[in-house]
Chains A and B, each alone.
Chain A
Amino acid sequence: DAGVTQSPTHLIKTRGQQVTLRCSPKSGHDTVSWYQQALGQGPQFIFQYYEEEERQRGNFPDRFSGHQFPNYSSELNVNALLLGDSALYLCASSPTSTPGLPRYEQYFGPGTRLTVT
């Protein structure tokens, strides 16, 4: 059973460009969360998708947007890239849970290393 997969592994972009990162959740998981991890820092929550809708959002500008597809895979889009967007972007998926209960147990993918020059 494959775990959480992310693509691409590494990416180099120029300031002002746009980027799309992709994530496939673990089998049986329906919720996807995205985190940004700057060098030497802990991950910071960007947003969470469930049933193809954004359910929770962290303190990130509107330049960060996402999407979830019917097969539960997800994309993270970042527009107008800044140097400060350089980071490891982690995707985490959560198992289908009992309705009304939170999806706490998150399984992380290996991440996409984004470098903005």
Chain B
Amino acid sequence: AQSVTQPDIHITVSEGASLELRCNYSYGATPYLFWYVQSPGQGLQLLLKYFSGDTLVQGIKGFEAEFKRSQSSFNLRKPSVHWSDAAEYFCAVALGNTGKLIFGQGTTLQVKP
């Protein structure tokens, strides 16, 4: 069955430090991958997406993610974290032609001053 795993439930980083959030997926076909961010009481905002082509994708707010087929991973990175980045981050995979998104359980990012 298709699934998305985010191994880290909670991560704390200092402001200005680099960040990497992990995401592993299980899907037989070519995956369409997404990262979303959710601030408290808010809906989900799309950070970036991977459909095909260059495996390093750039998103909004200085985020990037790298698709590694051999590792079934799509990790999110940011070189320097800002306090405003504190939020819940979700990785998701779209199933085939359905447009149905399967989400991971999310990673809560806390930023220390």
Contact = CB atoms under 8 A, between A and B. Distances in A.
Interface of A: 4, 31, 33, 35, 40-45, 48, 56, 58, 90, 92, 94, 101-111
Given A56-B99, A58-B100, A103-B99, A43 B49 contact: no
Contacts, number: 67
A42 B103 contact: yes
B102 interface: yes
B37 to A, nearest CB: 11
B96 interface: yes
Taking residues whose C-beta sits less than 8 angstroms from the other chain, chain B's interface range is 20 to 34
A31 B90 contact: no
Contacts of B43: 4, 90, 108-111
Residue from B49, B99, B105, B106 whose CB has the most chain A CB atoms within 10 Å: B99
